Chains A and B, each alone.
Chain A
Amino acid sequence: MESALSRSGDYADIFFESTTSDELTLRDGEVSAVESTADYGVGIRVIKDGHTGYAYAESTLPAEMERAARTAASIADCPAAGTAPAPLTRLQVTNHYPIRTPWESLDVCARKAFLSHFGERLSALSPLIVRVVANLAYDHSDILFANSLGDLFCDERPILSLVASCILEKEGHSENVTVSRSFRRGSEMLSEALLDEMVAEVEAHIPYLFEARRPKGGRMPVVMAAGSSGILLHEAIGHAFEADFNRKGVSIFSDKMGKRICSRQINVVDDATLPGNRGAVNIDDEGTPGQKTYMVREGVLTSYLHDRISAAHYGVAPTGNGRRESFRFNPIPRMRATYMESGSGTQEEIIHSVKRGIFVDSFTNGEVEIGAGDFTFYVKSGFLIENGRLTQPIKDINIIGNGPQALADIVAVAADSRIDNSTWTCGKDQYCPVSCGMPSVLVKSLIVGGDL
């Protein structure tokens, strides 16, 4: 720490990480591939006037760390030492992801049996299923962190994920369904109830897969189903609220703090405290405890998502959003579990209110251009709405909108908010596990890709 501050840096932190990953894959009915990785290292950051020096080493030998610290220190160009680091005090934080059954307690044979059983259940769903690929992956990170303010913490971060893809064939045509679940939990997550839920999700899609068509494209009302529709929040507003963009004056929401941006019935939260959630964070990667942050309350923009640098720029407290992919990266503002709270009414009432539009309920990916505010998300399945009723199944369309406009265009919010626990991973410069959630909503106008 003294080396890191040797050139008058304002602040320094040291992030030690040891991560192990285990993976088993079922393919062609057999669990015949095993993978493991071990990754170990230390990242050292120095901040001077809001600017960052960063270096990492894949060794914790004193000489290697000293070299990394002096490299990071060079962001500050004064030869004199700055503030001395404060004595370290261990931070006490709430554990949002206690592990009840450690991963190691389930041996490879037991994991293999679980995955085989999952594959068998999926294969038995329909004679149309010709291939099943299933993957069980567990990542475990041990983190030790200290900064020049005297904060010290340790954190143990599990992530267990189960993913399956089924290929189906019918009359020479091929289709696919993918299902996933991911939690910050130990092997207690692997239950028959979890498989029931995932198998049911695949089963629900099968009858419509080969019947689904592309709708006629163009501008139309879109009803978004509760759960994974939270991708709308992540893309349409979440990224634009990450305050490193605002620091550069880039975000389309840059000048909207304290202003009404949408209907009073809308509350949007970015939450680190959901127990066992993929986006949960006990303490972020620069020593700010995980917390629940209201981004929009009763339609008014109330907070951006901050790391230490952006918080200092705006003169507010950091919100615990400073996250990094690994010790190889410096922390930047990132989302955690981003969701909208429930409103009133039901999904049925919302669908009933639409004369002609679409209902969408599963997605694969999204993207946003935060300056222009244009966002997109890709719809894997849904239905046409005709005269207030779901009719023709639809699939494979991209939906595009503008963030502030789409938020302002949400005209109905149901009372059925729920978190989607799929393997959502955000790819803003660095990969980061997140989650999202949503009640059923009606967006009165979005541009839907489709046929002429």
Chain B
Amino acid sequence: MIPFDHSIVETALQMAREAGAAQARIALERSVENSATVLDGRLDKTLSASGSTLFIQLYLDGRYGSFSTNRLEESALREFIRHAAAAVRLITPDPCRRLPDPALCWKGPARDLRQYDPAIETLTPEARRDKALSACREILGSHRRLLSVETEWGDNIDYSYTADSQGFAGETLQSNHTINANVSIRGRGDERPEAWWYESGIRLDEANPKGCGRKALQRALDQLHPRKLRSGRYDIVIDNMVASKVVSPLIRALSGGSLQQRSSFLMDRLGTQVFGENFTLTDDPFVPGLPGSRLFDGDGLATARREIIARGVVNAYFIPHYYALKMGIPATVDAPSVLRFSRIGENSEKVLNLPALLEQTGQGILITDFNGGNCNPSTGDFSYGIRGFRFEKGRIVHPVREMNITGNMLELWNHLTAVGDDPRTSSRWAVPSLAFEGVNFSGI
């Protein structure tokens, strides 16, 4: 177990003061990671490690610098901070670099967001190996096309303690467990399609090896005999495993750094109707048991539940403390915690998982993987490679691959037709499956 001794933070704060810093923020991050990898039924790799890093932010003579070190012996740390302070003195002052108003910072009370499962402490090297082995053995030798199966069990504990010179102090402790399987099979000619599946979560029982290998194998077999489609407009459904690909450009465009640098396709759009009325997105930091939940952000600002997009209107940006001062607007929070996508339509009783989304959409392309691509942050123009399936009458017909989708993020989100009720709860943002209409595909 990680010893929760954070006296080094108080020591570093004192050293920063002695080095001349008017203000300082110090964060200690400790981690313990363990993993066992099995290749084709044999233990192939084990990893075991722990580490501690101290992050130091100095505000000195109106100037700012950020530093980190894992050399935590007192003499080495004192020397490091002395050097850091000397470097800060040589750069240009920035009046926006200062600690936030303490009134905006989290002051408690602590609230249990269920971020840690003590069962992680019961895991032994043998248990880790056995979990990876069981995911592997459930499919090893089970299919003539199977070339290799690699499975991995991993678990880690992340602890942080942050304190600043104005009296803010906050602590987080999070566990994570993951079982994943990666399968390759013999395809047509020289092709060896690969597929993966993983289960993960804060709780030990969320990473259940049972069925993990089978799902990966099935996903690989499903890819056999792909076809390329003609270029054209298609309705799409994006699987919750990969849907964050079209969410992250939105988040970037809503972020203070992009807005202040005028590199955002959502610049100057606060309070305006940008998307359809069916799109409502909420940032919720208080969902117990989800890994994105948190009580304070990286600056110590207290988090709050916020509607970011309300019936298509941009209601709030993600504005960290520094960029708030730069732009002369109030700070909100540095980044999303857990994203909540509101359901579309009246029938909120109906289950809307992936099969239901396919049925509702009728025909189109189900995207299960993205292959490269990018989005221009200034314009929102995007182009991504995709892999997935053609579906008709709500049922999968054949796999597709080697195709690109191309468009603009504003246009795409204005063509949102459905939001699944299947958020991937193991991922930080908890994005559900999403459906859009009339997306431009380039193929043959």
Contacts and interface: CB of A to CB of B under 8 A. Distances in A.
Interface of A: 22, 24, 27-28, 30-41, 50-58, 68, 71-72, 74-75, 107-109, 112, 130-131, 133, 165, 167, 169, 173-176, 214, 217-219, 235, 248-256, 328, 330, 364-378, 395-402, 404, 447-452
B70 A376 contact: no
Contacts of A24: 91
B404 A174 contact: no
B175 to A, nearest CB: 20
Contacts of B174: none
Given A175-B379, A396-B379, A112 B91 contact: yes
B192 A249 contact: yes
A57 B385 contact: no
5 contacts: A27-B261, A54-B48, A167-B263, A174-B378, A374-B385
B91 A31 contact: yes
B41 to A, nearest CB: 12
Interface stretch (B17-25, B162-170, B436-444): B436-444
Interface string B176-203: 0000000010010011111000000000
B194 to A, nearest CB: 4
A256 B376 CA distance: 38
Contact of A400 (B67, B97, B404): B404
Contacts of B47: 54-55, 330
A252 B191 CA distance: 5
Contacts of B87: 22, 34, 36, 108
Given A176-B263, A176-B376, 15 more contacts: A36-B83, A38-B80, A53-B45, A58-B52, A131-B261, A235-B372, A249-B148, A249-B192, A254-B192, A330-B45, A372-B401, A373-B190, A397-B383, A401-B402, A449-B383
Interface stretch (B58-66, B273-281, B354-362): B58-66
A53 B404 contact: no
Interface string B351-385: 00000000000000000010111101111011111
Contacts of A167: 261-263, 378
B372 A371 contact: no
A214 B406 contact: yes
Given A131-B263, A249-B184, A250-B194, A33 B125 contact: no
Nearest to A219: B444
Contact of B267 (A37, A174, A214, A252): A174
Nearest to A370: B194
B401 A218 contact: no
A251 to B, nearest CB: 7
B403 interface: yes
B196 to A, nearest CB: 11
A371 B90 contact: no
Interface in B36-92: 39-40, 42-52, 63-71, 80, 83-84, 87-88, 90-92
A425 to B, nearest CB: 15
Contacts of A249: 147-148, 184, 192
A22 B90 CA distance: 14
A365 B372 contact: yes
B387 interface: yes
B392 to A, nearest CB: 21
B231 interface: yes
Contact of B373 (A51, A401, A449): A449
B84 A36 contact: yes
B205 interface: no
B374 A398 contact: yes
Given A31-B92, A374-B371, A214 B381 contact: yes
B194 A371 contact: yes
Interface string B89-118: 011111001000000000000000000000
Contact of B67 (A36, A54, A399): A36
A8 to B, nearest CB: 15
Contact of A447 (B67, B68, B84, B402): B402
Contact of B401 (A51, A71, A374): A374
B232 interface: yes
Contact of A248 (B90, B184, B377, B381): B184
Contacts of B39: 51, 248
B136 interface: no
B91 A404 contact: no
A254 B190 contact: yes
B403 A400 contact: yes
Contact of A32 (B44, B63, B150, B262): B63
Residue of B148, B263, B265 with most chain A CB atoms under a 10 A cut-off: B263
A28 B372 CA distance: 32
A256 B150 CA distance: 23
A139 B80 CA distance: 16
B349 to A, nearest CB: 38
Nearest to A369: B371
A451 B45 CA distance: 46
Contacts of A378: 372-374, 383
A55 B49 contact: yes
